Every structure is written in structure tokens, then in C-alpha cells.
Structure 1
Amino acid sequence: MKPCVVFIATYDTKGKESEFVKQRILEHGVDCLTIDVGVGVAPAATPDIGLKDLCAGTAYTVEAIRAMPRGDAVGVVSDLVEKYVTQLHHKGEMSAIIGIGGAGGTQIVTQTMRMLPFGLPKLMLSTLASGNVRWYLQDSDICMMPSVADVCGLNFIMEPVFSRFAAMAAAAAKWYAQAEAGLKHMITDRTRLRVGMTMYGTTTRGVTESREELERLQYETVVFHASGAGGRSMERFITQGAIHGVLDMTIAEIGAHLVGGLHDAGPHRLEAAVSMGIPMVLVPGAADTIVLPPINDVPDKFRNNRILNKHNPTMTTMRTNVEENIQIANFIADKLENTRSPVKILLPLGGLSSIDRPGQVFYMPEANEALFETLRGRLAGSPVEILEDPRHLYDSGFGKKAAGLLDEMMRQHYGA
């Protein structure tokens, strides 16, 4: 059976363009199943699966959907196509999923993509791809490609864009058709226990020392950049059973969630390891940091009496203060104080990041002590063991100690 690309598009506005993409895919020797999710007038071309097919067996009709306010209609169709495509995947009838669209199409297609498992190719050609797409990607492995011009018409810009997009989709589908069985095995394999880790540029040295020690001990490590999406992705893999232990050494996403930074991983950070009952060592690395927009775009509320650092031309970092570190500690305690899984917290009393040490811009020991003292108080008498080390997170040996703690917990949990 040939690999098959499932292609979702709004045929009422992008029928001609969708048929162009489909034909280019077929030219690469791959099947293509088109699904229309347009909520406007009748489609400009004939898809393989129409809105009527999506409505079959449900309480909805095409006429009823088209009579709805646009926002409501988009929501209904998003749910219908998600259910339909999920069934296709369960039947093994797809090797990739792609979509083209503007705001509405991108929302509909990526909702479905996010429900599909890691590894299945997900390609979205979107007018929004050059902007903030975090709400569309969330914790998935969707690949978004900018359309350059609007997804409207065939011209000297869009024909090459569509052709390149189709070639990518066909190649990805061919790869997945060969790799699918191996991917599923990799997710469930326990030949080497896997450890999820978190890292920033300002925690790299400590995390790297831990990672190298864990790999010496024969663990497979997966490092997630604590950018919001990274933390959510790690939590998702934990809940899927693909990660067996956690060394969480970069927790800036928690501060971002509480204060309003860019790297917000949402309210569920730290929950997955506890719910899955797997060992976790938490080091509050980068609790000193909130990531904000470029320096000229920092919100006014963060400009007065705050320590701001121009990390690079597109990113500003802000030092957390005493009150914010107390909030961060309380968030951690709320998530961990009733845990039934093995959890230890290792405090680097000498500093939390590369720029939190004497002479550096984020050096503020009173803020760190507020974090530490709140954790000590909140977690006293809880199942969580708090350990303290006088060293800085970057000092030689600290990362190795954190790795050794997790190794002890893993051996006890899974058996040496």
C-alpha cells in the first residue's frame, strides 16, 4: 500500500490551490486524501471527503453549520475533522497530515494535528507561520511553513511554495511508512531508562555535567529547552510513559506562568512525574529569570525598579524579586507536597544561573533565600526531601551530584 498524505483545507476559499498541492503530491508517487473543512459556500473544487461526510452520524448538518456564526462553525468543524482523522490514524490509513490556510484553516488543522502522536509528520503551510504560533503548536511536533504570500491563487510566488510544500509532505510520508514500527517501539522501549531534563543557556554548564554523568551511567537523556513549549512537551512524554525519570534543573517556566513571561508552560508544570509516580529530582535553576520581549517592547509594568538584562536583540530577561520567588516556591510546594512518587529537591545555595553570582547582573541572594526558605517551610513534614549544597549550579561537581541523586532513586524504583 502506498503512503497516504491526509490533506485538510478549506475548499470553499482554497479549492483550486488545494487541488494544485494534491496533484504535486501524487506526482511523487504518494496517495493523497483531501478533506474539506470550509464553513462557507459550496467548495470551489471537489474534495475526497466533504463537510457532509464529516457530519455523517452526528447531530450536525452542512446547512446548520453554515448558518452558525463563523466562530461557532469553526469550532464544530474542528471537532468533527479531529474525530474523523483520529479514526483514520487508528486504522493505519495515513502516513502524514498536512494543511494549508489562514487564521481559520490554521486553527482547524492544527487542532487535529495536536491530537496525533509524536513522529507522525505534521506539516502546516500558514499565513501565520512567521508570527507567534505557540498556541497552534503547544506541545506537539507540528512543522509550520510560512506561505510568503496569502494562500490565494496560483502565481510566481505561490506555485513554487506549494510545490516545495508538496514535495516535503510526500518525502515525509514515505519516511514514516518505513519508520512507523520503529517509532512505536522506541516510545515503549525500556532497554535503557530515559531521563527528561530541562535547560536554558544560563543553566547549560550544570545541566551538561548532569547529562554526561547520567549517560555514563547508561541512561538515555532527553533535554528540553525550558521555553514553555519545552516544559509542556516533557510533561506530555512523561504521561505517555516514554520518560522514566526527571532531572528538572531549569524552572523558569514556572515564574513565566506566575508573572507573565514569554516562556509560560501553563498551570500544569511538575504534575506529570507525580501523576505517573516516577522519580524526580528538582533543582530550581533559572528561578531567577523571567523572559520578556525585546528591550524596547518590555511592558511598562516591568520597567520600574526591575533588573532587566538584554539577553539578545530579540529577548530580555528580568530578575525575579523576593515576592516572585516566594510565589514560585509556593507553586512548587502546591504541586509536590502530597506526592506519592519519589521526589527530592536539591538547592544550589551559591546561585541559580550563570548570571546569578557575585559581580553578575542577577546576583540577589536575598531573593534566592526567599525561595529556599519558603520551600523549607512549605515542604517540612512532606514526602519531599530537601537537600542543600553550598555550591553554585555551575560549580564543578554540582551537576554530577544531582545526577547521582536521581540514579539512586531510579535504581531503588526500578531495581538495580
Structure 2
Amino acid sequence: MVLNPGPGMSTIAVLGTLDTKGEEHAYVAECIRKRGHDALLIDVGSLGEPQIAPDITRDEVAAAGGVDLTELSAKNDRGASVAAMSRSAPHLLLDLLKSGRISGVISLGGGGGTSIATGAMRALPIGFPKVMVSTLAAGNVEPYVGTKDIVMIPSVVDVAGLNRISRKVFTQAAGAVCGMVEADIEEGEGRPIIVASQFGNTTACVDEARRILEERGFEVLVFHATGAGGRSMESIIESGLVAGVLDITTTEWADEVLGGMLSAGPDRLGAAARLGVPAIISPGCLDMANFASLESLPSRMKGRLLYEHNPNATLVRTSPEEGVVIGQRIAARLNESTGPVTVLLPTRAISVIGAKGQPFHDPAADQALFKALRENLRADIVVKELDLEINDPVFAASCVEALLENMGKA
């Protein structure tokens, strides 16, 4: 087993089901070696014999996850085998990473191989090079990528042998992971991290808040509140790297309640609450839920107040009744907070298109949301109402000052 590359070299894990795709992974390994790095072949197959000799055998992979591969292989159950390797491979890659043995990972696969490999990649930290060449990469990759920075490359043809198409795709994928490993990344200056949520309708507010915070010595990570963005922000908070949360744009809760396409799930706002991270919460863009094109709008939403943001995004104005439910759900999550949290309400508008004279201006709906928040939050959670629109620079500055005050308490 080669684990210590020479000077200037890095070791890249080439992980795959070598019983069915050994030739293809061997080709990628050779491409990596031609780029001056070492390749560590890891077999996550479980049924047939490997087509090439791995550096780390399937038995070693299974053992990392406490799986008895001999007993599993005897059952000849492909689904159970894929599930077992999916549980074991993350442990193996984490062990290799923690011991400094690998600097990147690449895999090729169809359905089973993609599931195993990306499951292992999701266990690795953000910033660690991860490349997946997959037959599924042209479709919905959210179940495979999750909240991590996995580069998904469509295989175009099936991962079944070497041909003029697959050689080109595999060679370029190998070049991609090598380039990622070779990249010289400026890590920053160790400034405390603030995370913030943003939508197009709250960009002015977040931009101003970010400017103030950066002037005061913080590093601000902004996440687009598109469901995946909210989940990514929760993941970063959960990692323990975050000093404060500026959750200006909680719009994903509107999608969660109305069944829109940008829900971040019911645990949105949960990470900061559990970890006690100082937070500021604002109802940014809770006046809208996001659906696809007008033609595909669910029948239950037809006849509602709509705004066509673009040909592929239709916004539905939340009603007073829905605002009550949203307010109750957010309050329930914030009531779990173990650290200082403050809710700031911009009473004139919670989005650009919710301002006076704009399509979604509905003070009654906004007030129903605000009232639900006030009435359902714990008594010790401070709620401040400001007679401002959310994108007013004064509101942005107020959010920053409240966050810094909470960070001081923490």
C-alpha cells in the first residue's frame, strides 16, 4: 500500500466498485500519476472479484464500518451490500484524512457507486477536494451532494469500459481533482465568522450589514436562501466555526409551510438554537413562497396573488392565515435557543416587493405574522419592531448592533 508520496506529490483516493468498474478506475489512477501525484485505489465493491488489485481492499473498507463482509457476500444481496459499503466508506475516508494520508478523492459510478462514493464524500469537510463522475450527474444531484462541495461531472456515456468519450471525461475529471489538490488557497486571517442569509429581495440589507461587520473585523459568509443554501448555512453553524448568525432572510420557512420548492426543511434555525450561537432573526421574504413556472403552478395556488420573478420562478404571496402558521413554527424553533437571540421586525416591508406600492404590499398579512411571532416566543426572547423597510440601511445597522450586543452577552 503506497501512502507516502514523494516531495511535491499528494495522494488522491480513487474510490470505486472495482468488481464492475475496475478498468475505469485504474485509468483515472494512471491519469493522476501522470500529473505527478500518487493514487490510492480503494475497492468498495462487494459481490464479484475486483478486476484490478486495490491498495485498500473491500474487507478493509468494511472493517472500518464494523461490517462482516464475508457474511454479507454470502447473501448475494446487492442492495444490502451497497448499504453496508455506504455505511463503511465514510469511516475509512475520515480515517485516511485524519491521518494525513489523502489530499483529495475521486470516484466513477452509476447508481450504486454514486450512492456509496458521495455518501463517503459527504463525511469529509468543506474544502477537501471531492470529484464524482456519475451517470446521474445530469439530473437532480441534491440527494448525493447534500450540503457539501462535491463536484458532480456527468459521465455522458455509461461508466462501462473505455472509449473516445469516456477517456476524455475521465482524463479531465482526473485533471480537475489534481488541480483542486494543487490549488494554493488563501485561508484568511483568522477573523471571527458571521453567517448571513440573503435573497434577491434582501440583498441591499445584507450587503450593508456585511460592509459594517467586515469593517469591524469579521468575516461574513453569505448564503442564498434557496433551500440548499439554508441547509448549508445550518451545516456550517453545526460545525462550531461560527461566532454569530445574522439570519435576515428566513423565507425558506414560507416554502416549508406552503410546499414551495425552496424549503430548507423543518430544522431550519435549529443549529444556532442547539449550539447557543448568538443570533439575530428577521422575517425577510416571508411574504413569498417559491414555485416553478406559471404553467406548472399547483392547482391549489391558482387564483392567489402571484409575481413572476422569472420564467422558472413564480412567487406566491403568503396570506394572513399562513403568516400565523409560519410565525408559530419559527417561534417554536427559536424557543429552543440556548444562547442569546433577538428578533427584529421591519414593519414597513419584509421584502422589496412587499413595500408600499409594490405587488406584495399587504400590511394585514405582515401584522398577522408579527403577532404570531410575538405571542408564541418565549418571554425572554427580545422582539424589536422598527418602523422601517427591511432594505433600509438603518435596519441593517440595527441588526448588526443587536448581533454584536448578543455576542457580547455570549
Residues in 2 aligned to 1:288 and 1:92: alpha-carbon distance in whole angstroms = 48
Which aligned segments of 4 or more residues in structure 1 are displaced greater than 4 angstroms? none
Residue of structure 1 equivalent to 2:387 = 390
Residue of structure 1 equivalent to 2:272 = 273
Alignment of 1:3-402 (within 5 A): 3-56=10-63, 58-62=66-70, 64-65=72-73, 67-175=75-183, 191-302=190-301, 304-379=302-377, 382-402=379-399
Secondary structure of 1:397 counterpart = helix
Please say if 1:410 is aligned against 2:407. yes
Give 1:71 deviation, angstroms: 2.5
Identity %: 37
Give 1:31 deviation, angstroms: 0.7
Is the CA contact (8 Å cut-off) linking 1:256 and 1:291 kept in structure 2? yes
If the length of structure 1 is used for normalisation, what is the TM-score? 0.91
Secondary structure of 2:242 counterpart = coil
Residues in 2 aligned to 1:278 and 1:298: alpha-carbon distance in whole angstroms = 38
**Residues 48-77 of structure 1: CA distance to partner in whole angstroms, max 9, x if unpaired?**
223233234745224623635332221111
Letter of the 1:99 counterpart: S
Is the CA contact (8 Å cut-off) linking 1:238 and 1:273 kept in structure 2? yes
Change (3 A) 1:56 1:198: closer
Residues in 2 aligned to 1:316 and 1:90: alpha-carbon distance in whole angstroms = 45
**Residues 59-105 of structure 1: CA distance to partner in whole angstroms, max 9, x if unpaired?**
52246236353322211111121222221112111100111112211
Give 1:28 deviation, angstroms: 0.4
Secondary structure of 2:144 counterpart = helix
Aligned residues: 402
Please provide the CA RMSD for this pair: 2.0
Give 1:231 deviation, angstroms: 1.5
Secondary structure of 1:110 counterpart = helix
Is the CA contact (8 Å cut-off) linking 1:34 and 1:47 kept in structure 2? yes
Residues in 1 aligned to 2:70 and 2:294: alpha-carbon distance in whole angstroms = 49
The answer for unaligned runs of 5 or more in structure 2 is: none
**Residues 125-173 of structure 1: CA distance to partner in whole angstroms, max 9, x if unpaired?**
1122222211111111211112222222222221111110011112222
Secondary structure of 2:158 counterpart = coil
Letter of the 2:402 counterpart: L
Is the CA contact (8 Å cut-off) linking 1:196 and 1:247 kept in structure 2? yes
Give 1:323 deviation, angstroms: 2.5
Give 1:235 deviation, angstroms: 1.7
Secondary structure of 1:158 counterpart = helix
Give 1:257 deviation, angstroms: 2.3
Letter of the 1:201 counterpart: G
Secondary structure of 2:405 counterpart = helix
Letter of the 1:320 counterpart: T
Question: Which stretch of structure 1 is more off in the superposition, 206-215 or 32-41?
Answer: 32-41
Question: Which stretch of structure 1 is more off in the superposition, 114-123 or 360-369?
Answer: 360-369
Is the CA contact (8 Å cut-off) linking 1:250 and 1:286 kept in structure 2? yes
Is the CA contact (8 Å cut-off) linking 1:51 and 1:62 kept in structure 2? no
Is the CA contact (8 Å cut-off) linking 2:231 and 2:268 kept in structure 1? yes
Give 1:403 deviation, angstroms: 1.5
Question: Which stretch of structure 1 is more off in the superposition, 49-58 or 130-139?
Answer: 49-58
Give 1:41 deviation, angstroms: 2.4
The answer for unaligned runs of 5 or more in structure 1 is: none
Secondary structure of 1:241 counterpart = coil
Residues in 1 aligned to 2:70 and 2:21: alpha-carbon distance in whole angstroms = 18
**Residues 225-263 of structure 1: CA distance to partner in whole angstroms, max 9, x if unpaired?**
111222122222222221101110111112222332222
Residues in 2 aligned to 1:102 and 1:317: alpha-carbon distance in whole angstroms = 36
Secondary structure of 1:355 counterpart = helix
Change (3 A) 1:210 1:154: same
